[in-house]
Every structure is written in structure tokens, then in C-alpha cells.
């Protein structure tokens, strides 16, 4: 677990644990200790208990009576649902951007960030840049709130991404992003639609492979 120096509220503890789960620092099946975490962050057990309850409400932990709190497995159903919604929404966003051809410098800049992160083996940094690339497309469409709505849906999908990006060829993702950007810059709606759908359907290949390699990490 990545250390945290201190926290003052249950919300801060929750946010810290949330990040640890999504990044894979806390793997499915890991038992969380109220006592240990409370000592680590310098709080009483009550706010830590509240953070655990919130984590369970997020679908990321399981509170088992008389047994404790454990990090939940990755829901394949939730991953597939989030992927489906992203494809439907982002393909429309991409067509809207292609039709107006706004400034895409933010998306261009993220490709360079991804190349550096890939070369350094920085998976968290790569995924953060990946998200900024897609968020920049929503911004370019004039619909930044759409990406915020998508973010709330994809916690389980992000857990899967942090696992798969350590295994699969990240340069393929960069190439897919470049294809999306090239089509957007050309104002080619059909090519943009095809590129974004191909990119977001990559997970349909990766998910079953990851589930087969780590069956204890997945459910559904």
C-alpha cells in the first residue's frame, strides 16, 4: 500500500484508499485493517470505518460481518457496461469534434506525454495521460461535463486498465490515439468514429485474457 502521512477526515482516507484500489496497489482479496490504517493516518478507527463503508458503496470493497473488510474483485459486468457506454458517448463526441475542427493542441500534447510514460514504464502516468486525452476531446466538443459523468462510471474499468497496461503493448494504445487525432484533424467524421470504436473495443480482447490469467481478481 502506498503510504499516506496523515489524514483529517474519513473523506480523505476514502480518497486515498480509492486510488490504491484503482491503481492496483491494493489487490482483490486484500484484507483492510481498521486498526493498522487508523494508526498509519493518525486517526481514530471511526473515520476509517466510515471510509471503508464508502469504499464498499463504490463497489470496491466488501464488508463481511465478523470477518472484516476486503478489497472486492473486479466486476467484469461493470467493466463491459462502462466500456459500452464510453463507446456510445465518445463516438458521438468524436463526430462532433470532427465536424467543428477546434483546437486540438491539448490532445496532441498528451501523445508526447504518453510516449515518455511508456518509455519510462510509468503505467499510472500513462493512464492519467490517456484519461486527459479523452477528456480533452470532450472539452473540444464543448461538453466537459460529459467526461465527468463517464468518470463516475468507470472505477472497475480503471482497475482493469491498470492491470492490462502492465502487460499489453502500450504503444498500440498510442497508435490508436494518434489515429483518432489524425481523423479529428482531418475533419473526417467516419474515420474518427471508426478509430474511437476500434480503440475502445480493444478491451473486449484484453479483458478475457486478464481474467484467465488472474481468475481470483475477477467476478461475473
| Mean pLDDT score, 77-90 | 97
pLDDT surpassing 90 at residue 195 = yes
What pLDDT score was predicted for residue 27? 94
Task: Tell me how crowded residue 17 is: count the other CB atoms within 10 A of its CB.
Answer: 26
The mean pLDDT value of the chain amounts to 93
* 3-state DSSP assignment of residue 75: strand
Q: Exposed, middle or buried: residue 2 (CB in 10 Å: 0-12, 13-18, 19+)? A: exposed
Q: Is the dihedral of CA 121, 4, 159, 140 positive or negative?
A: negative
pLDDT surpassing 90 at residue 192 = yes
pTM exceeds cut of 0.85: yes
User: 170-186 vs 105-120: helix axis angle to the nearest 10?
Assistant: 170
Task: Tell me how crowded residue 137 is: count the other CB atoms within 10 A of its CB.
Answer: 26
At 75, give phi and psi (nearest 5°). Answer: -80, 110
Instruction: Please report which confidence band the pLDDT of residue 217 belongs to, taking 50, 70 and 90 as the band edges.
Output: very high
Amino acid at each position: 500500500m502506498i503510504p499516506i502521512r496523515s489524514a483529517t477526515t474519513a473523506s480523505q482516507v476514502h480518497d486515498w484508499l480509492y486510488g490504491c484500489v484503482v491503481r492496483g496497489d491494493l489487490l482483490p482479496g486484500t484484507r483492510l485493517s481498521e486498526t493498522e490504517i487508523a494508526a498509519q493516518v493518525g486517526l481514530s478507527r471511526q473515520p476509517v470505518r466510515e471510509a471503508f463503508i464508502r469504499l464498499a458503496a463504490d463497489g470496491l470493497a466488501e464488508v463481511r460481518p465478523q470477518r472484516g473488510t476486503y478489497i472486492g474483485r473486479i466486476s467484469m459486468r461493470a467493466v463491459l457496461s462502462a466500456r459500452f457506454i464510453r463507446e456510445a458517448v465518445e463516438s458521438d463526441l468524436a463526430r462532433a469534434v470532427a465536424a467543428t475542427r477546434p483546437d486540438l493542441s491539448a490532445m496532441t500534447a498528451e501523445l508526447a506525454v504518453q510516449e515518455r510514460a511508456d518509455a519510462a514504464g510509468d503505467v499510472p502516468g500513462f493512464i492519467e495521460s490517456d484519461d486527459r486525452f479523452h477528456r480533452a476531446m470532450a472539452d473540444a466538443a464543448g461538453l466537459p461535463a460529459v467526461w465527468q459523468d463517464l468518470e463516475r462510471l468507470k472505477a472497475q474499468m480503471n482497475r482493469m486498465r491498470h492491470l492490462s497496461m502492465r502487460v499489453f503493448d502500450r504503444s498500440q494504445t498510442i497508435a490508436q490515439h494518434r489515429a483518432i487525432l489524425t481523423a479529428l484533424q482531418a475533419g473526417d467524421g467516419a474515420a474518427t468514429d471508426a478509430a474511437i470504436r476500434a480503440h475502445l473495443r480493444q478491451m473486449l480482447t484484453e479483458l478475457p485474457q486478464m481474467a484467465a490469467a488472474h481468475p481470483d481478481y475477477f467476478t461475473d
